[in-house]
Structure 1
Amino acid sequence: MTQTQRHPSSPLMLQETREAPEVIRRQIVQNMSRVQEIVCAIRERPPKMAVTIARGSSDHACSFLKYGLETQLSLPVASIGPSVHTLYGAQLDLQGALVLAVSQSGASPDVVETLRMARQRGGLTVALVNVEDSALAHAAEFVLPLQCGEERAVAATKSYLASLTAFLPVVAQLSGDLDLDLALAGLPEVLKEILALEERARDLAERYRFIQQLVVLARGMHFGVAQEAALKLVETCGIQASAFSAAEFSHGPKRLLVEGVPVLAFTSLDAAANSSAEAYQGLHTTRSDLRTIGPASESTLRTMSTGHALTDPVGSAVAFYLFAAHLAVRRGLDPDHPPLLSKVTQTR
């Protein structure tokens, strides 16, 4: 462990990111019986589609889960905007739908009310939530605890990472994917190795110390991580950051490169690897300021492979959090207490 990792004055954002290996280990062990209950329920009541309900970082986790459910289970996934029910009064027909609500606190009224409606309208409802005795947990038929313990920093880190992994054991069992089971079992150890990259993450952060804008790119499984990265850069660093699909960037947003806006991109080893690499190579030819994070060999901040396309984004997110926390500190900011923000946001 480096001096930086041991230092007691490290921001909570860093401290809580470093808890990720133990959180994932605890989640896998303590959620086993709940995973079995959900798997049995889904097999007894096979869904025709899935829908997600979430906001903020939790919604970015849902972007990741969308790719997981669609690629592994061939289950179409849509996102429900909570206001469709809470503001516009719509009573959606969710008979035969798997409904996943994701929240750290489980306290946002619009997410709770929308999940309650979904259960009443025939959905098989599952809450992925850190606070088990929460309104959201009580509204759901099934609960998968994130098992994070208390998260004190305003900017979510370990709860977002746990939201990525909590439903993956269900996916592994329903799909019969033994490789995913193995990757999940080994994930805590790989994350420990990625945490050892903190000095390199801090060095990468140094070059972004004075920027005001940033484009974040990714594709496929990593896109939800790119969305989360852009949000965290806004929250903790005051940077005007926007996330785009690497496949969509050339359809207009690429114009930003002319203004000298730098790019941070996520790489992968999955089916999106080649197309993403081609897109990033195209940016290099335009002499864009591009740096990358992920398991691909050419990455600026290269993470270790976790052994599966659905677990690699977790490692990339851990590396990014190290980078973002150090960037905030280098900019003279407190990443744990962003201005105007609070830990629990109550929307209706």
Structure 2
Amino acid sequence: MSDSLMLQECLEAPSVIRRQLRANAEPAARLVEALRLRPPAFAATVARGSSDHACTVLKYATESTLGLPVVSLSPSLYTLGQTRLRLAGALVIAVSQSGASPDVVQTLRQAREDGALTVALVNVEESELARAAEFVLPLHCGEERAVAATKSYLASLAAFLPVLSALKSDATLSQALEHLPERLEETLLLSPEAHALAERYRFAENLLVLARGLHFGVAQEAALKLKEICGIHAEGYSTAEFEHGPKRLLAEGLPLLGFQSNDSAAKSLEGAYATLVAGGADLRTIGPAAHQVGAHLRTPGTGHPLTDVLPSTLAFYLFAERLASVRGLNPDQPALLQKVTKTL
């Protein structure tokens, strides 16, 4: 039996990131120069689906690194509401695999017309989105054939990190990026552990995915993938927000999947997970600190919190691909979905 397209593209992740880091050195340097000459008052992101979840990670990364506030734009304000926001002097970042969704393209185009410094993180370099942006950081994924985005999401997580590293003069992040492809290669060796974890959720109908800080966008992405390819109703929550109502669902016996981290949220996560387990919650964790509570899938540490999210995500993808298979589903043919979704 041949590997699924999803798994094949997961296996490409180390080479994708290695290629991206090499090929984007000059475009990233030009963007850094522009940001130093035109320092933005705030930043905004525009994206849909998995790309929007990458933007959640980008928000935490940018705010924690530069102290620059980041908001998420609503594309429908431009396309349906005919509203133009005051974005002059802002940094506006659009993220997309295809660069073809009209709402994302129009939002970025109008932001540029209004005086924003616009950047596209996009895989298709000849796309409308790339043409609309002032600066482009290509994802360099090659063709992504699986409906469920994997290597493009991982590439979206990495593409802006060299810019943050240069703006902050962060030698530790620079070194972590240099060795990131090797850490992703190590992550691919976790397939047996990922498969064992998948067996645990073979018959799950609902699943709550928890995280905090940099990994919150990964939890959002995980919940989406569980819906897309596994047919499981899943929702991603910050552990802080989980306390404000959703925790009630534990009384119905819903299982939990938690992402661990080595960032500023690590201590809070450890305490929250310990409390949940002590209260009888069914919790398994993924991440570089997964040995702490409910350990089942410990990922390689990368030497920096901003890069740690990539092995965590890749390990989850190995788990999700296997979970779809043991549930008798084809991860490459999710019901009712197609690769490119164009929304207005």
* Interval of TM-score (by shorter of Structure 1 and Structure 2): over 0.9
CA distance in 1, matches of 2:297, 2:34: 41
Deviation (angstroms), 1:225? 0.3
Pairs within 5 Å for 1:1-348 = 9-296=2-289, 297-298=291-292, 299-348=295-344
CA distance in 2, matches of 1:274, 1:33: 38
Deviation (angstroms), 1:45? 0.4
Deviation (angstroms), 1:248? 1.3
8 A Cα contact 2:193 2:296, kept in partner: no
CA distance in 2, matches of 1:18, 1:302: 18
8 A Cα contact 2:99 2:124, kept in partner: yes
Give the secondary structure class of the aligned counterpart of 1:101.
strand
Deviation (angstroms), 1:269? 1.0
Give the secondary structure class of the aligned counterpart of 1:211.
coil
Which stretches of structure 1, 4 residues or more, deviate above 3 A after TM superposition?
A: none
CA distance in 2, matches of 1:183, 1:224: 20
Give the secondary structure class of the aligned counterpart of 1:114.
helix
**1:145-166 residue CA offsets vs partner (Å, 9 max, x unmatched):** 0000000000000000000000
1:4 corresponds in structure 2 to none
Unaligned runs of 5+ residues in structure 1 are 1-7
Give the secondary structure class of the aligned counterpart of 1:311.
helix
Deviation (angstroms), 1:247? 1.2
CA distance in 2, matches of 1:123, 1:337: 39
Deviation (angstroms), 1:91? 1.0
8 A Cα contact 2:256 2:283, kept in partner: yes
**1:77-111 residue CA offsets vs partner (Å, 9 max, x unmatched):** 00001001111011111111000000000000000
CA distance in 1, matches of 2:2, 2:250: 37
CA distance in 2, matches of 1:195, 1:97: 38
**1:314-345 residue CA offsets vs partner (Å, 9 max, x unmatched):** 11000000000000000000111101000000
Give the secondary structure class of the aligned counterpart of 1:248.
helix
CA distance in 2, matches of 1:336, 1:28: 28
The one-letter amino acid paired with 1:68 is A
The one-letter amino acid paired with 2:329 is L
Deviation (angstroms), 1:294? 0.3
**1:207-251 residue CA offsets vs partner (Å, 9 max, x unmatched):** 100010000000000000000000000000000000000111111
CA distance in 1, matches of 2:206, 2:334: 18
CA distance in 1, matches of 2:296, 2:213: 20
The one-letter amino acid paired with 1:321 is Y
Give the secondary structure class of the aligned counterpart of 2:166.
helix
Deviation (angstroms), 1:188? 0.3
Deviation (angstroms), 1:270? 1.2
CA distance in 2, matches of 1:247, 1:20: 31
Give the secondary structure class of the aligned counterpart of 2:237.
strand
The one-letter amino acid paired with 2:275 is G
Matched pairs, number: 341
CA distance in 2, matches of 1:220, 1:16: 27
Q: Please, what TM-score do these two structures have when normalized by structure 2?
A: 0.98
